[in-house]
Amino acid sequence: MENALLVGLSRQSTLERHLDVISNNLANVNTTGFKANQMLFEEYLTSGAHEDNFKAPDRRISYVQDRGTYRDFAQGPLERTGNPLDVAINGSGFLVVQTPDGERYTRDGNLQISSTGQLVTNSGKPVLGTAGPITIQPTDHDVTISADGTITVLEGVSPIDTIRGKLRMASFADPQSLHNEGDNVFSVGPGVNAAQDTKSTIEQGFVEKSNVNSVVEMSRLIEVNRTYANIAGMLSQQADLQKSAIEKLADVPA
């Protein structure tokens, strides 16, 4: 009976973690460029019965182990905004941004111009081009961002396009090696290098929405809550059964 309690407890522990992951996904269903997290489970077997009268398959106790999470980097739907500074990436690339801790990577293309004229993300991080930060002059207008990320403007009354920079896009052989730092940016671990992305394209006037499927996540949320409640009921029954067995054994005459 103790084994049944421990197996149920192991499952409840993983369900709590699963609930946290689902809640985080739902909280970011409207976050631009957000990538959903998914859970990884595995079976953990331990030998519990050693008496010879137990058959081999019955000697193993199967627990549930929370192995970790992985991030779903599937592209989210593109939404037209009409804002010339908004960009969405078609492909697996990432925009490169500058932070106090070094370069970071994001899919959030909701860009704007800072008070100093720099092209920045919605949270104020400078967006890097192939030659460094990109600056828009006060007299610039009619900003155009081509499919390869080249940014051109009309300066003053001049009818000739002026290039202000080219968005730098990075790609990774294994996107799962990226670490989520919050604020919709990712960092890389030691030994992981960002390669120049030459396959992804830019869509001006669009943003990439979160790839979280709210209907699926809500269904999972209900399923997890029901499973947790069912296991709680089973554990309560097992505890009552154990208590009853102890009470009856105590009543047996010596």
What number is the average pLDDT over the span 199-203?
95
What number is the average pLDDT over the span 155-182?
89
Between CA 181 and CA 188 the distance in angstroms is 10
Q: Which residue has the tokens 């908004």?
A: 86
- Reply yes or no on whether the pLDDT at 52 is more than 70: no
Where do the structural domains in the chain lie, given as residue ranges? 2-73+212-251, 78-208
pLDDT category of residue 74 using cuts at 50, 70 and 90: very high
Among 204, 196, 243, which Cα is nearest to 87's?
204
- Reply yes or no on whether the pLDDT at 54 is more than 80: no
> What is the model's pLDDT at position 148?
94
Between CA 64 and CA 41 the distance in angstroms is 7
Question: What predicted TM-score, i.e. pTM, was given to this entire model?
Answer: 0.78
For residue 241, the tally of other CB atoms under 10 A from its CB is 12
Asked if 84 and 145 count as a contact pair (C-beta separation under 8 A), the reply is yes
